[in-house]
């Protein structure tokens, strides 16, 4: 059983708090992404799981084994974990074969078994025939695959990945997302994947834990995180969102500046609460004011800026009260800056979150 459990884990570096009371469960066999901006504590959390850092408070469990607490830490080499580093950390004085075989040699496997396993993992990561190369003779993508192969070949209970794609170019990064997902599906190893790239997390992860300022803001599947963000931070960090601060004035009714808007669900709040109303730009409907009809969440705005995105146009529209919202509309509408437009923020797409 390789379920990883962090219970009330905190970590400080001097005065700076890296992790605050983090509680998280990584289920057996799942791929969980720790997602957040730089400095949010995600790498610290990974280093604590790996055993390179000691938590100041809280405990880390692997199945029924307590592996980290402020009093005792199981050393990294005894955790049955593998780690893929952001820099890959391939040993430059060893060939690809030697890099991958290192962990197997330490486990005292017979020579022919080592050769068989290395050959197998090189096929899994599509690097067959490159065993005799040195790391500096490989491209970035190939180095990344070697790092992955080295981590997987020892068949760890848990695989940890620390921003493994951040050194690759955009095209290769996109390709490798699917590759990592494929390998995870094939091996079924419990995996913790640290990234700051929300698109990467959405493609790769079974579940995402969004982190901010040392805390976990929300944990959920990619659709849950995208469609039902629970905080202002999650809504704005995952995809684009129009986040309008306001006050709940009635059942599902929010006053945002000069606007009164209806939201989909307000069960978590009481009238008088400060809330943030979030609506994704693709959900915002825009049309010309001619023939306009009154209705819920409907208002007239002035187009401030327009950006061409190929198949879409990104519009910035100023609403009454100074609120500016973004809307993605199909390209070819030929709206002009300064033009008055009718803007609808559909109630079923408006979600209320904590400020």
Catalog residues that contact another protein under the rule CB under 8 A.
Answer: 50-52, 75-77, 79, 81-83, 85-87, 89-93, 102-103, 106-107, 136, 150, 154
Taking the least distance from each CB to another protein, the nearer of 91 and 178 is 91
| HEC-encoded secondary structure of 160-219 | EEECCCCCCCHHHHHHHHHHHHHHHHHHCCEEEEEECCHHHHHHHCCEEEEEECCEEEEE
Residue 147 Cβ vs another protein, minimum distance, rounded to whole Å: 8
Residue 81 Cβ vs another protein, minimum distance, rounded to whole Å: 6
Residue 211 Cβ vs another protein, minimum distance, rounded to whole Å: 21
Taking the least distance from each CB to another protein, the nearer of 16 and 293 is 16
> For residue 98, what are the contacts with CB-CB under 8 A and spacing of at least 6?
91
DSSP secondary-structure letter at 319?
A: P
Residue 49 Cβ vs another protein, minimum distance, rounded to whole Å: 11
Taking the least distance from each CB to another protein, the nearer of 69 and 155 is 155
Dist. CA 67–CA 51, nearest whole Å: 8
The beta strands (E) that lie in the chain are given as: 4-13, 16-26, 31-35, 57-62, 65-68, 81-84, 158-162, 190-195, 207-212, 215-220, 242-250, 253-256, 259-262, 274-279, 285-288, 298-308, 312-318, 324-330, 340-344, 351-353
Taking the least distance from each CB to another protein, the nearer of 117 and 351 is 117
Place of tokens 């580093």: 85
Residue 89 Cβ vs another protein, minimum distance, rounded to whole Å: 4
Residue 173 Cβ vs another protein, minimum distance, rounded to whole Å: 19
Residue 104 Cβ vs another protein, minimum distance, rounded to whole Å: 9
Taking the least distance from each CB to another protein, the nearer of 77 and 113 is 77
Q: Which of 70, 63, 55, 52 is nearest to 25 (CA)?
A: 63
Reading the block at residue 234, the tokens are: 């999650």
Q: Which of 60, 45, 143 is nearest to 100 (CA)?
A: 143
Dist. CA 51–CA 215, nearest whole Å: 20
Query: DSSP letters of 104-123?
Result: HHHTT--HHHHHHHHHHHHH
Query: At what angle are helices 96-106 and 111-124 packed, to 10 degrees?
Result: 130
Reading the block at residue 91, the tokens are: 């040993």
Q: Please state the separation of Cα 189 from the chain's center in Å.
A: 19
Residue 206 Cβ vs another protein, minimum distance, rounded to whole Å: 23
Taking the least distance from each CB to another protein, the nearer of 76 and 220 is 76
**Furthest C-alpha separation in the chain:** 80
Taking the least distance from each CB to another protein, the nearer of 74 and 264 is 74
Residue 62 Cβ vs another protein, minimum distance, rounded to whole Å: 13
Taking the least distance from each CB to another protein, the nearer of 101 and 350 is 101
Taking the least distance from each CB to another protein, the nearer of 81 and 216 is 81
Spatial contact of 279 and 241, defined as CB atoms under 8 Å apart:
yes
């Amino acid at each position: 059983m390789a379920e990883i459990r962090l219970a009330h884990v905190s970590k400080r570096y001097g005065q700076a708090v890296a992790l605050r009371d983090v509680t998280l469960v990584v289920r057996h066999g799942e791929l969980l992404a720790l997602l957040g901006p730089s400095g949010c504590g995600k790498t610290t959390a990974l280093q604590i799981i790996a055993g390179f850092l000691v938590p100041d408070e809280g405990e880390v469990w692997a199945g029924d084994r307590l592996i980290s607490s402020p009093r005792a830490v199981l050393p990294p080499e005894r955790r049955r974990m593998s780690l893929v580093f952001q820099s890959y950390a391939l040993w430059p004085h060893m060939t690809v074969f030697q890099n991958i075989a290192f962990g197997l040699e330490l486990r005292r496997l017979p020579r022919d078994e080592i050769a068989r396993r290395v050959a197998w993992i090189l096929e899994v990561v599509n690097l067959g025939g490159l065993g005799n190369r040195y790391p500096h003779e490989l491209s970035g993508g190939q180095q990344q695959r070697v790092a992955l192969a080295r981590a997987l070949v020892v068949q760890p209970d848990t695989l940890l990945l620390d921003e493994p794609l951040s050194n690759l170019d955009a095209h290769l990064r996109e390709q490798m997302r699917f590759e990592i997902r494929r390998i995870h599906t094939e091996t079924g190893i419990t995996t913790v994947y640290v990234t700051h790239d929300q698109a990467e997390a959405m493609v790769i992860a079974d579940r995402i834990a969004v982190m901010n300022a040392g805390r976990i803001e929300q944990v959920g599947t990619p659709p849950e995180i995208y469609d039902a963000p629970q905080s202002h931070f999650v809504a704005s960090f995952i995809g684009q969102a129009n986040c309008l601060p306001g006050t709940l004035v009635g059942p599902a009714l929010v006053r945002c500046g000069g606007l009164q808007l209806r939201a989909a669900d307000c069960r978590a709040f009481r009238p008088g609460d400060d809330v943030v109303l979030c609506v994704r730009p693709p959900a915002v409907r825009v049309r010309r004011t001619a023939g306009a009809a009154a209705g819920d969440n409907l208002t007239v705005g002035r187009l401030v800026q327009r950006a061409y995105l190929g198949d879409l146009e990104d519009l910035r529209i100023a609403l009454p009260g100074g609120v500016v919202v973004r809307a993605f509309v199909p390209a070819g509408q030929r709206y002009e800056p300064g033009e008055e437009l009718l803007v609808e923020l559909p109630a079923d797409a408006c979600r209320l979150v904590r400020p």
